[in-house]
C-alpha cells in the first residue's frame, strides 16, 4: 500500500448489513487511494454504497473488514477516543441534512468542534469561529438560529464548522442535495477555494454538473468502484456563478 | 478535555432547552415538596400527641366505675355508680405505688358573673387533683385543706372560663361567680394548657373542693372517677394491679365476678394514640413515596422522550469529535443541575407548604431532616440516573448510528 504520498488509503473495504437472514453487501472490496490535495467527487446510483463508504472513511462507522489509513494512521486499530480526536482534528464532515444543533446560534455551532479541542482558549475560539463563518459568507448571520437561516445558509454553517479545526480533509455526503443551483455553486466555490489552499476534499454528489467542479470523479456501482477518472474541462465555480441567469422579477411578472 | 469547556457545553445545552429542563425539574419539585410536607404533617401530629399526653401527667392512673369489657349491653366506662370515697381511702392507705390520690366528681353547670354567663364542667377534687393532673395555678392559689373540710364555696377557674366571664386579660381572682345560683369566690386562675389530644379545651374548666361539689351541688355518694399518680413510670403497672386488687376486695367481688371498675393509666392511652399516629405516619409516608415515585416517573418520561432528539445531538457531537466521556459528562452535569436545583426548590416549597398548613390549618407540623434528605436523595438519584443512562447508551453507538436514531 502506498501510504507515503496518499492522505487516504483504503484496502479491501467490505461492509455488510444483516437484514434478517439476508446479507446486504453495501461495500464489496473497495480499494482506493486519495492523494493530499485531491478533490474527489464520488458518483453512482442510489444504493451503490457511496454514503456507506463516506461514513467509514469519515470514521463515523466501522466496516465489516478491510484496512484504512488516514495521514499514516491505521484507523481501525485506534480506540474510540483516538478516533474521536481524529474526527475532531483531521476530518471535517458535512452531511446532506446539515446536522447542526437546533436552537443554537450559527457561531455556537461553529464553535462546537473547538469545545472538544482542549488546545484552544475562549478568545481564539470566538475569533476562529467568526473567521470560518466569514469565509463562507455568513459573518453577519453569526448570531442567527438555524430556523432563521435558509437551507444553503445552514449548510454553509456546517461547512464553517467542518473547517474550523483546520482539518486535512473535508468529507461531504451530498452537500448540495437539498440546495438550489445557485446555493450549490456557492458551496462549490467555497470547496474550490479550500482545495486551492491544499485541503483535500471528498464529496458525494448525484449531479453531473456538481461533479464537474472536482478534479477527479469516482463511480460506484453495487458497492464497487467501477471507474476513477480525471475531470476534463473542470468548471470554476466563481465563473459559473457569474454566468447564472439573474432572475428578473419584472421579467417574470410580465 | 478541559472542565471549563464541558461546563460551558452543559450550560449552553441547558439554557437552550428551558422547557425540557423546567418539566423535568417540575417532577422533582413536586416529588420532594410533597414528601416533605406530608411527613411534616404526620410527624407534627405524632409529636403533638406525645406532648399533650405528657401534659396530662404521664404517671397518672384513672379508676372509672363500670367495666369496659362486659358482655351484652356495653355501657361506657363512667356510667356506673360503684366507686365511693371508701375506695379512695382504701387505695390511699393500702397502695404502695402511688403518691397522691383524689376522688373526682363533676357536674356540667351554668356559670354567671355579672351579666355574662357560660356553660362549663365543674370538677370537684382534692388539692392533690392539681398535682396529679399537672395543673398549676398561675394567679392566686388553689384551695386549702380547710376549704375542703368546710366545703368552702371557692373555686379555681380555667383561662377560657375567665375570658368568657370577665373578658380578655382580666384578673378573676377575688371575684364572685354563681355556679347553678350558688355564689363561689374565685381564688385562682389555672395556667393555660390549650387543647388536649382529643381537641378538648383543657382551659374550659372550673375546679372546686371535692366536698363542696359533692355536698352542695350533687346529692350522691358515688364518684365519677378516682385519680391517682404512680410514684414513677416504672410503678404504673404495679399500681394498676394493686389498685385492682384493693377495689375488688373493697367491693367484695368473688373470683367469678368481673371487675365493676376500670383502671387505666395515662400511658395506656398515650400508647394507643401513638400507635394510631404511627399508622398515620406510615400512611402519609406511603402517599409521599407514591408521589415521589410519580415524580420519578415524570422525570424518567421527559428524559426518555427527549432521547430521540438527544441521541441525534449526541451523534452530532461525536461526529465533530466529542468522546464518549465528554458526552456522558455533559449529560451528568445537566442532570445533576436539574436534580439538585429541582430538589432544592422542592425542599423550599415543601417547607412552605408545611408552614401554610400549620398556619391556616392550625395543624402542628414538624419538618424532619430525614424527610428532606430522603426525598432529595431519591429524586436526585432518579434524575441523575435517567439523565445518565440514555446518554450512556447513545454514547456507545457509532456516531452514524446515533445520527440515524429514530
Ligand atoms: N443501516 C443500514 N441497514 C441496512 N442496510 C443498509 C443500511 N445503510 C445502508 N444500507 C444498504 O446499503 C446499501 C448502500 O447504501 P448507501 O446509503 O451507502 O447508498 P448510497 O449510494 O449512499 O445511496 P443514495 O445515493 O441513495 O444516498 C443499500 O443497499 C442500503 O440499502
Ligand atoms: Mg447516500
pLDDT digits (tens, 9 = 90+) for A15-51: 999 988 899 999 999 999 999 999 999 999 999 999 9
Domain count across chain A: 1
Q: What is the C-alpha separation between A233 and A2, in angstroms, rounded?
A: 29
Q: Which of B55, B33, B48 is nearest to B362 (CA)?
A: B48
Over 50: is that where the pLDDT of B74 sits? no
Over 50: is that where the pLDDT of B33 sits? yes
pLDDT digits (tens, 9 = 90+) for B138-171: 999 888 889 989 999 999 999 999 999 998 888 9
With b for 16 or more beta-carbon neighbours within 10 A and e for fewer, the B62-98 pattern comes to bbbbbbeeeeeeeeebeebebbbeebbebbbeebebb
Residue B178 forms beta bridges with which residues?
B112, B183
Q: Confidence class of residue B385 from pLDDT cuts 50, 70 and 90?
A: confident
Q: Confidence class of residue B71 from pLDDT cuts 50, 70 and 90?
A: very low
Give the distance from residue B312's alpha carbon to the nearest chain A alpha carbon, in angstroms. Answer: 8
Name the residue facing A93 among B309, B319, B322 (closest C-beta). B319
Percent of chain B at pLDDT above 70? 93
Mean predicted confidence (pLDDT) in A172-182: 91
pLDDT digits (tens, 9 = 90+) for A146-164: 999 999 999 999 999 999 9
Q: Is residue A185 part of a domain?
A: no
Q: What angle in degrees, to the nearest 10, is found between the helix axes of A151-163 and A106-115?
A: 20
Indicate the DSSP class of residue B169.
T
Q: Is residue A212 part of a domain?
A: yes
Q: Is residue A164 part of a domain?
A: no
Q: What is the C-alpha separation between A128 and A130, in angstroms, rounded?
A: 5
What are B212-216's contacts with CB under 8 Å, separation 24+? B212/B124, B212/B147, B212/B151, B212/B152, B212/B153, B212/B154, B213/B105, B213/B106, B213/B107, B213/B122, B213/B123, B213/B124, B214/B105, B214/B124, B214/B151, B215/B151, B216/B151, B216/B153, B216/B182
Burial class (CB in 10 A: 0-12, 13-18, 19+), B179: buried
DSSP strand pairing (A65-70 vs A6-19): antiparallel
Which ligand 1 atom sits nearest the alpha carbon of residue A220?
A: 21
Contact A145, A105 (CB under 8 A): yes
Mean predicted confidence (pLDDT) in B125-132: 90
Name the residue facing A88 among B313, B320, B398 (closest C-beta). B320
**What is the extent of the structural domain holding A251?**
1-78+203-254
Over 50: is that where the pLDDT of B73 sits? no
Mean pLDDT taken over chain B: 86
Q: In terms of DSSP H, where are the helices of B167-265?
A: 210-212, 236-250
- pLDDT score recorded for residue A253: 57
- pLDDT score recorded for residue B239: 92
Query: ipTM of this model?
Result: 0.94
Sheet holding A65-70, edge to edge: A22-35, A6-19, A65-70, A73-74
DSSP strand pairing (A169-173 vs A200-204): parallel
Task: Tell me the whole-structure pTM to 2 decimals.
Answer: 0.74
Provide the 10 A C-beta neighbour count for residue B272: 11
Indicate the DSSP class of residue B366.
-
Spell out which residues of chain B touch residue A104, defining contact as CB-CB under 8 Å.
Answer: 12, 16
Q: What is the C-alpha separation between A54 and B338, in angstroms, rounded?
A: 38
Ligand 1 neighbours (beta carbon < 6 A): A 17, 19, 24, 26, 44, 46-52
Which ligand 1 atom sits nearest the alpha carbon of residue A53?
A: 18
Radius of gyration of chain B (CA): 33
Mean predicted confidence (pLDDT) in B160-189: 91
Q: What is the C-alpha separation between B406 and B393, in angstroms, rounded?
A: 14
Over 80: is that where the pLDDT of A188 sits? yes
Residue A74 forms beta bridges with which residues?
A69
Q: Confidence class of residue A252 from pLDDT cuts 50, 70 and 90?
A: low
CATH number of the domain at A7, please: 3.40.50.300
Mean predicted confidence (pLDDT) in B348-370: 88
Over 90: is that where the pLDDT of B34 sits? no
Give the distance from residue A2's alpha carbon to the nearest chain B alpha carbon, in angstroms. Answer: 28
Q: Is residue A40 part of a domain?
A: yes
Q: Confidence class of residue B278 from pLDDT cuts 50, 70 and 90?
A: confident
Q: Delimit the domains of chain B by residue range.
A: 3-52+272-404, 99-229
Chain B: residue whose CA lies nearest to A164: B320
The answer to which of A113-122, B3-12, B297-306, B388-397 has the lowest mean pLDDT is: B297-306
Mean predicted confidence (pLDDT) in B305-321: 89
C-alpha cell at A218: 469516482
Mean pLDDT taken over chain A: 92
Q: For cell 450549490, what's the residue? A: A184
pLDDT digits (tens, 9 = 90+) for A230-241: 999 999 999 999
Give the distance from CA B137 to its chain's centroid.
26
Helix, strand, coil share of chain A (percent; to 5): 40, 25, 35
Over 90: is that where the pLDDT of B196 sits? no
Over 80: is that where the pLDDT of B281 sits? no
Provide the 10 A C-beta neighbour count for residue B247: 23
Mean predicted confidence (pLDDT) in B241-265: 88
Percent of chain B at pLDDT above 90? 32
- pLDDT score recorded for residue A3: 55
More confident residue, A37 or B271: A37
Over 90: is that where the pLDDT of B395 sits? no
- With an 8 Å Cβ cutoff, the interface of chain A facing chain B consists of 55, 58, 60-62, 80-81, 84-85, 87-89, 93, 95, 99-104, 108, 112-113, 115-118, 161, 165
Q: Is residue A147 part of a domain?
A: no
Residue B255 sits at the chain A interface (C-beta within 8 Å): no
Amino acid at each position: 500500500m502506498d501510504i507515503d504520498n496518499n492522505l487516504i488509503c483504503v484496502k479491501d473495504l467490505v461492509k455488510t448489513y444483516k437484514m434478517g437472514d439476508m446479507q446486504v453487501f453495501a461495500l464489496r472490496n473497495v480499494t482506493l487511494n486519495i492523494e493530499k490535495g485531491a478533490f474527489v467527487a464520488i458518483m453512482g446510483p442510489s444504493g451503490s454504497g457511496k454514503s456507506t463508504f463516506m461514513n467509514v472513511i469519515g470514521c463515523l462507522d466501522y466496516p465489516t473488514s478491510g484496512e484504512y489509513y488516514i495521514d499514516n494512521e491505521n484507523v481501525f486499530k485506534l480506540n474510540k477516543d483516538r478516533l474521536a480526536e481524529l474526527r475532531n482534528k483531521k476530518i471535517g464532515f458535512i452531511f446532506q441534512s446539515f446536522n447542526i444543533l437546533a436552537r443554537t446560534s450559527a457561531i455556537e455551532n461553529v464553535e462546537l468542534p473547538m469545545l472538544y479541542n482542549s488546545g484552544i482558549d475562549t478568545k481564539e475560539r470566538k475569533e476562529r469561529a467568526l473567521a470560518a463563518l466569514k469565509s463562507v459568507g455568513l459573518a453577519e448571520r453569526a448570531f442567527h438560529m438555524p430556523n432563521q437561516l435558509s437551507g444553503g445558509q445552514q449548510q454553509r454553517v456546517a461547512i464553517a464548522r467542518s473547517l474550523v479545526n483546520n482539518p486535512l480533509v473535508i468529507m461531504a455526503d451530498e452537500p448540495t442535495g437539498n440546495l438550489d443551483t445557485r446555493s450549490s455553486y456557492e458551496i462549490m466555490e467555497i470547496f474550490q477555494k479550500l482545495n486551492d489552499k491544499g485541503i483535500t476534499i471528498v464529496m458525494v454528489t448525484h449531479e453531473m454538473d456538481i461533479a464537474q467542479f472536482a478534479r477527479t470523479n469516482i463511480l460506484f456501482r453495487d458497492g464497487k468502484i467501477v471507474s476513477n477518472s480525471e475531470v476534463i474541462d473542470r468548471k470554476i465555480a466563481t465563473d459559473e456563478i457569474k454566468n447564472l441567469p439573474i432572475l428578473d422579477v419584472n421579467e417574470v411578472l410580465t | 478535555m478541559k472542565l471549563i469547556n464541558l461546563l460551558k457545553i452543559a450550560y449552553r445545552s441547558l439554557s437552550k432547552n428551558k422547557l425540557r429542563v423546567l418539566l423535568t425539574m417540575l417532577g422533582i419539585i413536586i416529588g420532594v415538596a410533597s414528601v416533605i410536607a406530608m411527613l411534616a404533617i404526620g410527624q407534627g401530629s405524632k409529636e403533638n400527641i406525645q406532648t399533650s399526653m405528657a401534659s396530662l401527667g404521664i404517671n397518672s392512673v384513672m379508676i372509672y366505675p363500670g367495666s369496659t369489657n362486659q358482655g351484652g349491653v356495653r355501657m361506657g366506662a363512667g356510667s356506673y355508680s360503684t366507686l365511693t370515697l371508701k375506695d379512695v381511702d382504701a387505695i390511699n392507705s393500702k397502695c404502695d405505688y402511688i403518691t397522691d390520690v383524689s376522688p373526682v366528681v363533676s357536674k356540667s353547670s351554668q356559670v354567671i358573673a355579672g351579666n355574662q354567663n357560660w356553660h362549663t364542667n365543674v370538677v370537684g377534687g382534692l388539692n392533690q387533683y392539681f398535682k396529679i393532673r399537672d395543673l398549676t395555678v398561675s394567679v392566686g392559689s388553689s384551695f386549702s385543706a380547710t376549704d375542703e373540710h368546710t366545703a368552702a364555696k371557692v373555686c379555681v377557674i380555667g383561662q377560657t372560663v375567665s375570658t368568657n366571664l370577665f373578658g380578655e386579660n382580666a384578673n378573676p381572682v377575688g371575684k364572685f361567680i354563681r355556679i347553678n345560683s350558688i355564689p363561689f369566690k374565685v381564688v385562682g386562675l389555672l395556667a393555660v394548657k390549650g387543647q388536649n389530644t382529643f381537641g378538648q379545651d383543657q382551659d374550659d374548666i372550673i375546679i372546686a373542693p371535692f366536698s363542696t361539689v359533692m355536698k352542695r351541688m350533687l346529692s350522691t355518694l358515688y364518684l365519677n372517677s378516682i385519680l391517682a399518680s404512680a410514684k414513677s413510670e416504672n410503678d404504673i403497672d404495679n399500681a394498676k394491679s394493686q389498685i385492682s386488687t384493693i377495689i375488688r376486695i373493697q367491693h367484695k367481688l368473688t373470683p367469678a365476678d368481673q371487675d365493676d371498675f376500670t383502671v387505666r393509666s395515662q400511658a395506656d392511652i398515650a400508647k394507643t394514640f401513638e400507635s394510631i399516629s404511627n399508622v398515620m405516619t406510615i400512611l402519609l409516608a406511603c402517599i409521599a413515596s407514591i408521589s415521589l415515585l410519580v415524580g420519578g416517573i415524570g422525570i424518567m418520561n421527559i428524559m426518555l422522550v427527549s432521547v430521540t432528539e438527544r441521541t441525534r445531538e449526541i451523534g452530532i457531537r461525536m461526529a465533530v469529535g466529542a468522546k464518549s466521556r465528554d458526552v456522558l459528562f455533559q449529560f451528568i452535569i445537566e442532570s445533576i443541575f436539574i436534580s439538585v436545583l429541582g430538589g432544592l426548590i422542592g425542599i423550599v416549597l415543601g417547607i412552605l407548604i408545611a408552614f401554610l398548613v400549620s398556619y391556616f390549618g392550625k395543624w402542628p407540623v414538624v419538618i424532619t431532616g430525614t424527610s428532606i434528605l430522603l426525598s432529595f436523595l431519591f429524586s436526585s438519584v432518579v434524575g441523575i440516573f435517567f439523565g445518565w443512562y440514555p446518554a450512556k447508551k447513545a454514547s456507545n453507538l457509532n456516531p452514524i448510528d446515533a445520527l440515524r436514531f429514530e
